[in-house]
Amino acid sequence: MTLPLVAAVVTGLQVGAALVASEMVVAEVGAGRLGFLRYTIALAILVPVAMLSVGPPITRRDLLPVALIGMGQFGVLVALLNVAVLHTGSPRVALVFATLPIATMLVGLRIGEGRVSALELGSILLSVAGVALLLAGDALTGRMTGPDWIGVGCAALATLTGAVCSSLYRPYLQRCGVARVSVVAMSASLLPLGLIGLFETPGVAIADWSVRTLALVGFVGVSSGIGFLLWLYALRHLPAAIVTAFLGLSPVTAVLLSVVFVGAVPTPALLLAMAMVIGGLAVTAFARRPERPRRVGSGGGSTPVDPGPPPG
């Protein structure tokens, strides 16, 4: 396995692990406060990378739209995911969120960015059927309670938010590069996350946090920063469709870690749905043709189009 593939695999594992860690501390820390701390720590890793990156700076004209998209991508999205794992299990949340590459592709179709082949359409239907099977199976057996539906709904809204924001990022990424755009966007997300933290029900005071809580919050933040860097490395060497498809590893990771650390018991519906979603994502990734580099600016050079920052 090549290093770019390893980076893509680790990113998929990181998303699942971060969801499980968030589930274990979100009730104690709070959804908004956890998101604020997560990206504050991640920024400490990403800012030096952005300062060392080459390319044109972000113009004043682009600052506001990038900041607004960042509030959605890193602020609203992560807050919704934290609320989701507060109400339902992280494996279920990870499974819904693993459809992000497909949701992004569908949003791209709505804004005229491409077409879907018959094989890709089949993979979309397979993944959607997997999520529907999980929800229907758990609902019929009485495992889906009211809070579970709230959690699944928040996970679906987070997925849609990520898809829309990733599509809107494209022109700014072409002009200014991934590192600088992402640091500005992530910094802007601290505002809504901080406001949520102020108005949400107070959790345990930071001074009273256990060593376990401090370690898990630190893990979520550090892993997000490192995972972002690995995501960028993979995108430089592999087609974006293949890289994003490895998000299908997140529900697998969430299930395994939840069984070990949370005491969860995976249901047959969850295992079957997980296989269907991962299968659909794999078909989507390997059926799509790599995008050709597009020319940017008036010079003779060309740069590859980047699909946007990772989901978090």
Rounded Cα distance, 185 and 312, in Å: 12
Helix axes 268-287, 100-110, angle to 10 degrees: 50
Beta-strand ranges (E) seen in the chain are: 294-295, 302-303
149: tokens are 């539906």
Q: 214-251 pLDDT, tens per residue?
A: 999 999 999 998 988 887 777 667 766 567 667 777 77
CA–CA distance from 49 to each of 82, 254, 255 (Å)? 27, 29, 33
Residues paired with 302 in a beta bridge: 295
Does the pLDDT of residue 278 top 90, yes or no? no
User: What is the pLDDT of the chain when averaged over all its residues?
Assistant: 77
Rounded Cα distance, 247 and 280, in Å: 12
**C-alpha angle with apex 84: 81 to 89, nearest 5 degrees?**
115
37: tokens are 């701390």
* Domain residue limits, the chain: 3-291
The pLDDT value recorded for residue 197 is 77
Mapping DSSP onto H, E and C, the string for 208-225 reads HCCHHHHHHHHHHHHHHH
Q: Which of 251, 188, 187 is nearest to 18 (CA)?
A: 251
Rounded Cα distance, 185 and 188, in Å: 5
Q: Are strands 294-295 and 302-303 parallel, antiparallel or unpaired?
A: antiparallel
Contact 224, 77 (CB under 8 A): no
Q: 139-195 pLDDT, tens per residue?
A: 666 677 888 889 999 999 998 888 888 778 767 866 777 778 878 888 888 888 888
Residue with tokens 């050709």: 292
Contact 11, 310 (CB under 8 A): yes
The pLDDT value recorded for residue 56 is 75
Count helices and strands in the chain by DSSP H and E runs: 13, 2
The pLDDT value recorded for residue 262 is 75
Residue range 194-199: average pLDDT? 80
